């Protein structure tokens, strides 16, 4: 063995490696022809029932109906739809000349195929009272129901029910290729982090101007902020409120704050021996300094929420409620002492030798929740309630609900998951003491009955009347305590114009965006 | 005869402390010069000072004239390899452990002489052939024996063409049989120039001839023609040095072997293997109580392994070992080690170690003091630990510790090979004397046949 | 050599079995119903409910006893199958391969860079001595005192934010690789430049090094002939030891830079309770570790054949 | 018992100073780690809040004191456990014969092949927020290092003439351990312990950084770093505090270690 080749070989190896590195510099999408988007959510599958929210937001997949900013249903792949007199038959007239990304023409058969498959998977369609979904000719789809179901339109607008080309599905109904109808088609699918889409030239609607769009999962809130600041990402969703002041000072980007029908709420176990009396729940609600949290923690003054549903959902929002309304029932101290809770020497509440101790669980996916939980913990401490905060996975909430172990959970509930909040209200408060993401061990027969009625009510006036009544019950009984309405913080680089925020988080409206000409 | 090297009042200092007293000497062409002295007498510093290789922090005063010129260190460095070379003490350390032997010679031809690669290799192979290393060129230093490594080092050192050779302890750690070959090789290599040798070995000095300087603790004590000086030394120190050579020992008379003694240990047709290699086969002997038995043989022949086998520290592959003395406890079969510091825990003082032993075996403490006097151990030694006393003292302390246990058998594994000749003689003398007095059998291993010859009743040659 | 390879092979087998079993036991003892966790990862954090969990449980047969599951895993493993991800349903092998590619790219370029940083600096330290030595050693101490993520964050702030030279996160182009690799390289180099320096110092002071000069070779010739190889011995051996800390560093760095490597994937799979992916990636990490160590051993043996007989 | 170099004294002094800060802070601060004041967020250091307040208006002084105490407590605990276990097993592995050695070898090989941080992550995921589990996990990872070093050194000592001679003279195992093995391994164990302390701190901070293992409002250096990071431009002094303290603690442990790993 010679000594000389020893370091020569090292040089050789390193030159090869660097050569390889240089080769990996790829062509195709570049920063100048791509709008890059960064958000927290990972995706693992092409299946719309699983990760459809990404594909619908990236505008690869579209649904029969769409939802506008006010939450009203508008035509999408169906150019028109009719509901029969008995409200049990819905007929959708499909748009003509709509092509899938694989080049085939969309027809009724394809739509029926997609919907039937979606029905077998996890999602809202599965629970809808559907008798049959069938094609009527080439361009109409008929859905017949077993009972009137006003929600159907909103359910069909859900991302899980996106329409894909028949060729997109494999034998086991799994999705092999994501051939949708949107203005963008999949260019690169690298789960769980990266999705690149390319403009689809045969789109039926407004064609995209920007050739490529990339979606990159940025798990860490701080790293997303840096991406926005450095200009690496054009649009960054889910910004940490803590970073807002420094972002607002940047002149390369604009921060856009949009209220969405998502509310930060405390889910309470109303069956818990400390919480089964409404006065205890009211006391906990009164102890929360909502304004302080909105201003100091979330950094959006005015985002405090007294009610579960936001003002934008006017049917469900009580106009006469202010931040003072609840204090009419008393102070936290008076309410709690009326329940037999008294402060001990350490200033903590005690009843019959038992301390008022609660475990609050929340999850790390949304950066605000941890901060809000910390604030609530301190505010409850002030009235003598000890709270143990546990940061876990969002699944712990559904699980805790099912096995009854949950005491308090801080969640960000999306009431616009299905465009009509009734869907969520039904699952959260409808019956059986509540739903996984709603009330827990709390039954109110009046509310259940009202919600059931709403499912079959199509007259707007009586609809509003009943909805207001329900909202009042929820406000009075506090099965869930709202903390703040959710304001989505998004930074948009100034090289992009035409950005629009969808409060229902269905679409990024990429096809409306343009690069600002330098 | 031209003067190759001339030193005038050369001294070495660290700060203000003088390590090497001022000395002057001349190295003339064809007349070897030898410096004789014990370890620590500052001999090595002299060679380093001449080369310009003193470690940082040491300073030289006086004048060093090389080839008739006073040169700066840089100028002297330019002579390295081509005109002047120094052979370091331990060849294993001075050869690149990762490079084939032949390449270490080749590179000199290649880079110092400027030959082509093929030519250099041929010349190196040729050189190795001359020193009897044919077929060993592809081996790395760790695969060579001490003598082979030293021959390789000499070949590599002189390949650059240097005729002035400074050799620092060229025979250290070598068996007697290898020693002579190295001396002859050095003489052959320097016949065009001259040789400055530093050694502690009187016989090497005798063999080299030429001019001899005797040094003690950094000072020159005597100087003269080698043969004359060694035959009729004037200085007492020189005399002591000469007398310490085992071949010159006369005052350690082997005590009379008592015929009436009982057998202590009988070995019958012993065979020993280590690492798959048979060391020896069918060895039979008897050791009697109080007998001094010597083992001689070249390194690697299984001398130490035999001793360990007798102490049950190593398994025997074949044959039978019978211990007689039924009353002896296991702890009365003991061993003295080659490297004294490695045989003691350095974590506590020697006194503490002794106390541990006293406590364990309930020994009468009063026995310690007289034994220490006999072994010429100062009392203060007990407060120090094993690293802060000299090797000679430590080996004597080891003897003390062994004797306290009233041993019946003591295996002394080259107990004096790491010691200076004068100390070695003293320790060997004490060991034999005291063990005989205590009626303890001693198995003495040494690579020096003279030493064994002069101390043992029975010699086992391997 | 053969004995060493055989021993390594044996180690590989025990590691595969041990790591798999350990992760299996650990994952089975994780609190909470797996079905919910998996559902949360499958359907999105907002869309998980008991219905989704039931669907998952049924589909994945999560009810089967741990022994049966373990047995399935083991028999699959014997056929070199790692199963399918519980979350995505894709074969674990595929996703592990994908992640491994990214991790290896990061690890190799980080290692390469660290060598490029550490070796010259270490040699310089040993060669020039003080005050340069003290400055460099102080710097390395300071960097070693920082967690890897702090190094990464600092690099991010300067290179990505203030100077805008490199992207903050993501992957796909060489520019994306620079910061993560540099972070890894700096944290590795802070440790290894000491090793280089110590080894170089040791070699420069060695008797054979001086002897080479005495033989007449110039300083540069001596360095080339005797320095390089002897200095490399402990340095290469050290890189073997450092592999573990490198993989740990990779977990943090991948999280910080959204680098889709195996460390990041593993951390995520742990949260999602995706047992096959956890087992698969832990297994691959273990195997990789053993293989790399074997490689280091072979290189060590090549540079320094003295150990061959031992 | 051991002579310390000057740099080691400096390391010890820094650690003691931090410990004093932590204990003093915990004992005398009028605030608790969770006491918020949303009207006084991110204040700069003042007479009332010596180190300022964080984004919830909590006293940074109090939080830093608790965080340092926490890091110290955990790292010392891990250090003691892992050094004890590692040393015991290391010695046993050499002394207990071939079978023990082989069995230990298998366990150690498996543990070594799993990156420590991953093991800790797995454990931390089992019981979020449990310090017992964190402590067990970190100790589980760290003892291997002691084991390897102690085993290697002990192997040398077992074969050394010194121990052989003690054994021949009839000394028992405890004596052999006390006089020969322990003096030989103690410097390494001490060095490893100092590095182990530093690593425990780094590991914990790393866990905080990936949001595992530590739950708010607990003050922990890694978690505080993450929490305060968004304010790096608004209130750099806040972010600097946990970072400086982490670096200081690790650096001090490294100094204390004396030798390099």
Q: What is the pLDDT of residues C55-68, one digit of tens each?
A: 878 777 777 777 88
Strand ranges (E), B29-160: 33-37, 58-66, 69-70, 84-87
- Which residues in chain D have their CB less than 8 angstroms from residue B346's CB? 183
Same domain for B423 and B300: yes
Q: Looking at chain B, which residue has its C-alpha nearest residue D2? A: B347
The reply to whether residue D55 touches residue A242, judged by beta carbons under 8 angstroms, is yes
The range of the structural domain enclosing residue B372 comes to: 263-461
Enumerate residues 176 to 215 of chain C having a beta carbon within 8 A of any beta carbon in chain A. 177
Q: Please indicate, yes or no, if residue B253 is contained in any of the structural domains.
A: no
Q: CA nearest B312 in D: which residue? A: D168
With contacts defined as CB-CB under 8 Å, which chain B residues touch C302?
none
Instruction: Note whether A6 contacts C303, CB cutoff 8 Å.
Output: yes
Yes or no, beta carbons of D125 and C270 under 8 Å apart? yes
Q: ipTM of this model?
A: 0.74
Cis bond upstream, residue D217 (ω within 30):
yes
In this complex, the residue of D165, D170, D175 whose CB is nearest that of residue B335 is D165
Average pLDDT over residues C43-56: 76
Long-range contacts of D5-13 (CB under 8 A, 24+ apart): D5/D258, D7/D255, D7/D258, D8/D255, D8/D256, D8/D257, D8/D258, D10/D252, D10/D255, D11/D194, D11/D251, D11/D252, D11/D253, D11/D254, D11/D255, D11/D256, D11/D257, D12/D252, D12/D256
The better pLDDT of the pair C285, A308 is held by A308
Enumerate residues 6+ apart whose C-beta is below 8 A from A481. Answer: A265, A266, A268, A281, A284, A285, A288
Predicted confidence (pLDDT) per residue in B12-61, tens digit: 887 777 777 788 888 888 788 888 877 666 677 777 888 877 777 788 88
Q: Number of folded domains in chain B? A: 2
Q: Helix, strand, or coil here: A491?
A: strand
Query: What is the average per-residue pLDDT within D49-77?
Result: 83
Cα(A334)–Cα(B313) distance, rounded to whole angstroms?
A: 86
For chain B, 462 residues long, the average pLDDT of each consecutive 10-residue run is 77 79 80 78 75 78 79 77 77 78 80 79 79 76 76 79 80 73 78 80 81 80 81 82 76 61 81 79 83 79 82 83 78 83 83 86 84 82 81 84 86 80 82 82 82 81 77
CATH of D6-257, one of 1.10.3720, 1.20.930, 1.10.3470, 1.10.1060: 1.10.3720
Q: Is the whole model's pTM more than 0.80, yes or no?
A: no
Residues B194 and B341 in one domain: no
Over residues D5-28, the mean pLDDT reads 85
Helices (H) and strands (E) in chain D, counts: 10, 0
Q: By three-state DSSP, how is residue C228 classified?
A: helix
Residues A384-414: tens digit of each pLDDT = 898 888 877 788 888 888 888 889 999 988 8
Domain holding B130: CATH number?
3.40.50.300
Q: Which domains does chain A have, with CATH numbers?
A: 34-232+495-515 (3.40.190.10), 261-486 (3.10.105.10)
Structure tokens at A491: 């930074």
Ranges for all domains in chain C classified under CATH 1.10.3720.10: 92-307
- Which residues of chain D neighbour C271 with C-beta distances below 8 Å? 125
Neighbours of chain B (3+ CB pairs under 8 A): C, D
- The answer to whether the CB atoms of D250 and C146 lie below 8 A apart is yes
- Region A247-253: mean pLDDT is 86
Contact at 8 Å (CB) between A233 and A208?
no
The three-state secondary structure class of A188 is strand
In this complex, the chains that touch A, judged by 3 or more CB pairs closer than 8 A, are C, D
d(CA A422, CA A434): 14
Whether the per-residue pLDDT at A433 is higher than 60: the answer is yes
Whether A372 and A484 have beta carbons less than 8 Å apart is answered as yes
User: Residues D205, D132: contact at Cβ < 8 Å?
Assistant: no
Mean pLDDT of C173-196: 84
Q: How confident is the model at residue D131 (pLDDT cuts 50, 70, 90)?
A: confident
Q: Is D2 at the interface with chain B, CB within 8 A?
A: no
Q: Are D38 and A292 a contacting pair at CB < 8 A?
A: yes
Average pLDDT of every residue of chain A: 84
Q: Which residues contact C42 (CB under 8 A, 6 or more apart)?
A: A44, A45, A50, C52, C56, C87, C88
**Whether D179 and B345 lie within 8 Å, measured CB to CB:** yes
- Say what the pLDDT of residue A267 is: 92
Query: Do B44 and B85 sit in the same domain of this protein?
Result: yes
Any chains having at least 3 CB pairs less than 8 A from chain C are A, B, D
What confidence score (pLDDT) does residue A3 get? 40
A25 Cβ contact partners less than 8 Å away, ≥ 6 residues apart: C173, C174
* Record: contact B401-D169, CB cut-off 8 A: yes
**Architecture of the domain defined by C92-307:** Orthogonal Bundle (1.10)
Give CA–CA dist C257/A217, Å, rounded.
Answer: 11
Distance from the Cα of A175 to chain D's closest Cα (Å) equals: 32
Q: Does D84 touch chain C (CB under 8 A)?
A: no
pLDDT tens per residue across span A289-314 = 898 888 888 888 888 888 888 888 88
Residue B248 lies in a domain: no
Is D38 in contact with A375 (Cβ distance < 8 A)? yes
Rounded distance, CA C123 to CA C195, Å? 10
Contacts of C215 in chain B (CB under 8 A): 80-81, 85, 107-108, 112, 156-157, 159-160
- Tell if the CB–CB gap between B333 and D160 is shorter than 8 Å: no
Q: Which of C53, C169, C225 sits opposite A223 (nearest CB)?
A: C169
Q: Tell if the CB–CB gap between C207 and B93 is shorter than 8 Å.
A: yes
pLDDT tens, position by position, C217-255: 788 888 888 888 888 888 888 877 777 677 777 878 887
The answer to whether residue B249 is domain-embedded is no
Residue A4 clears pLDDT 50, i.e. is over it: no
Q: Which of A452-456, C144-148, C240-244, D138-142 has the lowest mean pLDDT?
A: C240-244
**Three-state SS at D87:** helix
The answer to whether the CB atoms of B111 and C206 lie below 8 A apart is no
Q: Are strands A89-94 and A78-83 parallel, antiparallel or unpaired?
A: antiparallel
Residue D222 with chain C: CB contacts under 8 Å: 147
**D126 near C CB under 8 A:** yes
Q: Do D210 and C144 touch (CB under 8 A)?
A: no
Average pLDDT (C72-98) is: 78
- Please answer yes or no on whether A26 and C52 come within 8 Å at the CB atom: no
State whether B193 and B328 are in the same domain: no
pLDDT value for C309: 44
Q: What is the distance between the alpha carbons of residues C16 and C18, in angstroms, rounded to a whole number?
A: 6
pLDDT in tens, D70-113: 888 888 898 899 999 999 998 888 888 888 888 888 888 777 77
Q: Cβ of C282 under 8 Å from any chain A Cβ?
A: no
User: Using the beta-carbon criterion (under 8 Å), do C145 and D254 form an inter-chain contact?
Assistant: yes
Tokens 């000497």 identify what position? Answer: B25
Question: Å from B94 to nearest chain C CA?
Answer: 4
Contact residues, chain A, for D62 at CB < 8 Å: none
C-beta of residue A179 within 8 angstroms of C-beta of residue A166: no
Return the higher-pLDDT residue of A349 and A70.
A349
pLDDT of residue A92: 92
Is residue D183 less than 8 Å (CB to CB) from chain B?
yes
**Which pLDDT value is given to residue A25?**
42
Distance CA D41, CA D34 (A): 13
Q: What percent of chain A has pLDDT over 70?
A: 94
Q: Are residues B269 and B310 in the same domain?
A: yes
């Amino acid at each position: 063995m010679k000594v000389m080749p020893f370091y020569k070989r090292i040089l050789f190896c390193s030159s090869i490696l660097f050569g390889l590195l240089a080769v990996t510099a790829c062509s195709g999408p570049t920063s100048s022809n791509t709008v890059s988007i960064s958000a927290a959510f990972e995706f693992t599958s092409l299946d719309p029932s699983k990760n459809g929210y990404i594909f619908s937001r990236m505008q690869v997949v579209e649904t029969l109906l769409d939802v506008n900013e006010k939450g009203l249903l508008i035509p999408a792949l169906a150019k028109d739809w009719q509901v029969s007199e008995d409200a049990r038959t819905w007929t959708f007239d499909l748009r003509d000349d709509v092509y899938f990304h694989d080049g085939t023409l969309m027809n009724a058969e394809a739509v029926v195929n997609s919907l039937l498959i979606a029905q077998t998977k996890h999602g809202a369609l599965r629970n809808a009272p559907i008798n049959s979904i069938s094609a009527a000719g080439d361009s109409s789809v008929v859905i017949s129901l077993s009972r009137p179901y006003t929600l159907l339109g909103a359910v069909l607008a859900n991302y899980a029910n996106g329409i894909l080309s028949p060729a997109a599905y494999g034998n086991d109904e799994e999705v092999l290729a994501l051939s949708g109808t949107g203005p963008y088609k999949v260019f690169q699918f690298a789960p769980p982090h990266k999705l690149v889409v390319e403009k689809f030239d045969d789109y039926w609607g407004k064609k995209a101007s920007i050739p490529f769009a990339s979606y990159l999962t940025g798990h860490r809130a701080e790293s997303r902020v840096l991406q926005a600041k450095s200009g690496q990402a054009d649009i960054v969703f889910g910004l940490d409120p803590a970073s807002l002041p420094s972002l607002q000072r940047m002149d390369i980007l604009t921060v856009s704050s949009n209220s969405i029908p998502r509310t930060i709420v405390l889910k309470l176990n109303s069956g818990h021996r400390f919480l089964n009396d409404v006065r205890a729940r009211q006391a906990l609600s009164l102890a929360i300094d909502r304004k302080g949290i909105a201003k100091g923690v979330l950094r959006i003054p005015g985002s405090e929420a007294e009610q579960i549903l936001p003002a934008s959902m006017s049917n469900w929002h009580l106009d006469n409620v202010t931040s003072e309304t609840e204090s009419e029932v008393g102070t936290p101290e008076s309410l709690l002492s009326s329940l037999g809770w008294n402060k001990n020497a350490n200033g903590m509440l005690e009843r019959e030798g038992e301390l008022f101790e609660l475990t609050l669980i929340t999850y790390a996916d949304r950066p605000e929740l941890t901060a809000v939980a910390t604030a609530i913990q301190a505010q409850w401490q002030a009235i003598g309630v000890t709270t143990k905060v546990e940061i876990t996975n969002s699944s712990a909430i559904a699980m805790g609900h099912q096995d009854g172990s949950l005491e308090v959970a801080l969640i960000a509930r999306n009431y616009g998951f299905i465009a009509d909040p009734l869907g969520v209200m039904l699952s959260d408060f409808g019956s059986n003491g509540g739903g996984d993401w709603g009330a827990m061990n709390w039954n109110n027969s009046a509310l259940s009955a009202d919600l059931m009625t709403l499912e079959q009510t199509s007259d707007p006036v009586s609809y509003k009347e009943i909805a207001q009544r329900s909202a009042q019950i929820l406000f009075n009984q506090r099965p869930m305590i709202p903390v703040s309405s959710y304001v989505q913080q998004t930074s948009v680089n100034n090289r992009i114009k035409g950005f629009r925020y969808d409060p229902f988080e269905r679409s990024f409206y990429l096809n409306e965006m343009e690069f600002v000409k330098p | 005869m031209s003067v190759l090297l001339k030193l005038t009042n050369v001294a070495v200092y660290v700060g203000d402390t003088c390590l090497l007293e001022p000395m002057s000497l001349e190295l003339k062409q064809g007349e070897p010069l030898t410096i004789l002295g014990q370890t620590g007498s500052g001999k090595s510093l002299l060679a380093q000072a001449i080369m310009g290789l003193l470690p940082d922090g040491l300073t030289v005063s006086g004048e060093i004239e090389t080839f008739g010129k006073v040169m700066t260190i840089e100028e002297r460095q330019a002579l390295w390899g081509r005109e002047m070379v120094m052979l370091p003490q331990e060849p294993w350390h001075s050869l690149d452990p990762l490079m084939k032997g032949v390449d270490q010679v080749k590179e000199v031809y290649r880079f110092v002489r400027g030959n082509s690669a093929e030519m250099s290799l041929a010349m190196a192979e040729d050189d190795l052939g001359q020193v009897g290393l044919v077929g060993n060129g592809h081996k790395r230093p760790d695969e060579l024996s001490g003598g082979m490594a030293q021959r390789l080092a000499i070949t590599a050192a002189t390949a650059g063409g240097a005729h002035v050779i400074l050799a620092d302890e060229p025979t250290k750690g070598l068996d007697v049989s290898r020693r002579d070959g190295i001396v002859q090789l050095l003489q052959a290599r320097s016949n065009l120039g001259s040789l400055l040798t530093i050694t502690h070995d009187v016989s090497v000095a005798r063999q080299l001839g030429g001019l001899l300087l005797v040094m003690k603790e950094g000072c020159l004590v005597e100087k003269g023609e080698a043969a004359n000086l060694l035959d009729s030394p004037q200085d007492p120190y020189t005399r002591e040095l000469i007398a310490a050579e085992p071949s010159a020992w006369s005052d350690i008379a082997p005590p009379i072997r008592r015929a009436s003694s009982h057998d202590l240990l009988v070995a019958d047709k012993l065979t020993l293997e280590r690492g798959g290699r048979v060391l020896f086969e069918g060895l039979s002997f008897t050791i009697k109580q109080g007998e001094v038995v010597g083992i001689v043989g070249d390194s690697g022949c299984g001398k130490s392994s035999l001793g360990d086998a007798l102490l049950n520290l190593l398994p025997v592959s074949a044959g039978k070992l019978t211990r007689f003395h039924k009353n002896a406890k296991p702890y009365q079969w003991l061993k003295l080690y080659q490297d004294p510091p490695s045989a003691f825990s350095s974590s506590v003082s020697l006194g503490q170690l002794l106390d541990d032993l006293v406590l364990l075996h309930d020994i009468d403490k009063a026995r310690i003091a007289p034994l220490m006097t006999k072994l010429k151990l100062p009392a203060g030694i007990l407060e120090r630990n094993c690293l802060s006393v000299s090797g000679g003292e430590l080996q004597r302390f080891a003897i003390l510790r062994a004797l306290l246990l009233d041993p019946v058998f003591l295996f002394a594994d080259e107990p004096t090979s790491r010691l200076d000749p004068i100390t070695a003689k003293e320790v060997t003398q004490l060991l034999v004397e005291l063990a005989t007095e205590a009626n303890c059998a001693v198995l003495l291993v040494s690579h020096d046949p003279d030493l064994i010859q002069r101390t043992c009743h029975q010699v086992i040659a391997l | 050599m053969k004995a060493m390879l055989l021993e390594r092979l044996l180690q590989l087998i025990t590691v595969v079995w041990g790591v798999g079993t350990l992760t299996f036991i650990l994952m089975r003892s994780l609190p909470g119903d797996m079905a919910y966790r998996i559902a949360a990862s499958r359907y999105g954090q907002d869309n998980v409910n008991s219905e989704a969990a039931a669907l998952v449980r049924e589909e994945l047969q999560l009810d089967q006893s741990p022994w049966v599951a373990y047995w399935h895993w083991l028999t699959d493993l014997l056929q070199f199958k790692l199963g399918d991800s519980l979350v995505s349903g894709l074969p674990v092998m595929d996703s592990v391969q994908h992640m491994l590619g990214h991790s290896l790219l990061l690890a190799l370029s980080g290692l390469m860079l660290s060598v490029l940083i550490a070796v010259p600096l270490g040699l310089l330290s040993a060669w020039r001595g003080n005050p340069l030595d003290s400055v460099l050693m102080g710097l390395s101490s300071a960097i070693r005192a920082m967690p890897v993520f702090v190094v990464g964050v600092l690099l991010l702030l300067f290179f990505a934010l203030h100077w805008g030279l490199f992207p903050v996160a993501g992957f796909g182009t060489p520019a994306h690789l620079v910061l993560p690799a540099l972070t890894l390289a700096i944290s590795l180099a802070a440790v290894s430049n000491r090793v280089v320096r110590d080894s170089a110092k040791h070699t420069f002071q060695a008797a054979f090094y001086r002897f080479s000069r005495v033989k007449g070779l110039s300083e540069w010739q001596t360095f080339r002939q005797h320095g390089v190889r002897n200095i490399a011995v402990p340095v290469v051996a050290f890189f073997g030891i450092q592999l573990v800390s490198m993989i740990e560093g990779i977990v943090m760095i991948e999280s910080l830079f959204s680098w889709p490597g195996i460390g990041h994937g593993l951390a995520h799979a742990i949260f999602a309770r995706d047992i096959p992916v956890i087992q698969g990636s832990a297994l691959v990490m273990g195997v990789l570790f053993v293989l790399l160590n074997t490689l280091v051993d072979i290189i060590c043996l090549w540079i320094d054949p003295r150990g061959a007989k031992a | 018992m051991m002579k310390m170099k000057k740099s080691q004294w400096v390391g010890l002094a820094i650690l003691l100073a931090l410990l004093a800060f932590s204990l003093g802070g915990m004992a005398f601060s009028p605030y608790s780690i969770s006491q918020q004041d949303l009207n006084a967020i991110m204040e700069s250091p003042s007479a009332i809040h010596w180190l300022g307040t964080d984004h919830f208006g909590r006293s940074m002084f109090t939080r830093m004191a608790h965080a340092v105490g926490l890091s110290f407590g955990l790292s010392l605990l891990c250090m003691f456990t892992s050094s004890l276990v590692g040393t015991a097993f290391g010695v046993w592995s050499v002394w207990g014969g071939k079978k023990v050695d082989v069995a230990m070898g298998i366990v150690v090989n498996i543990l070594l092949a799993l990156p420590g941080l991953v093991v800790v992550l797995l454990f931390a995921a089992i019981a979020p927020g449990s310090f017992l589990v964190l402590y067990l996990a970190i100790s589980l990872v760290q003892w291997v290092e002691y084991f390897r070093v102690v085993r290697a050194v002990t192997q040398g000592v077992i074969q050394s003439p010194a121990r052989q001679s003690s054994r021949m003279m009839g000394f028992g195992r405890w004596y052999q351990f006390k006089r020969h093995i322990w003096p030989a391994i103690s410097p390494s164990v001490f060095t490893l312990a100092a590095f182990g302390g530093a690593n425990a701190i780094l590991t914990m901070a790393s866990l905080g950084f990936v949001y595992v293992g530590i739950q708010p409002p607990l003050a922990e250096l890694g978690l505080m770093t993450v929490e305060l990071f968004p304010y790096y431009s608004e209130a750099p002094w806040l972010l600097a505090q946990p970072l400086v303290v982490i670096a200081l603690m690790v650096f001090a442990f490294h100094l204390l270690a004396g030798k390099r790993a």
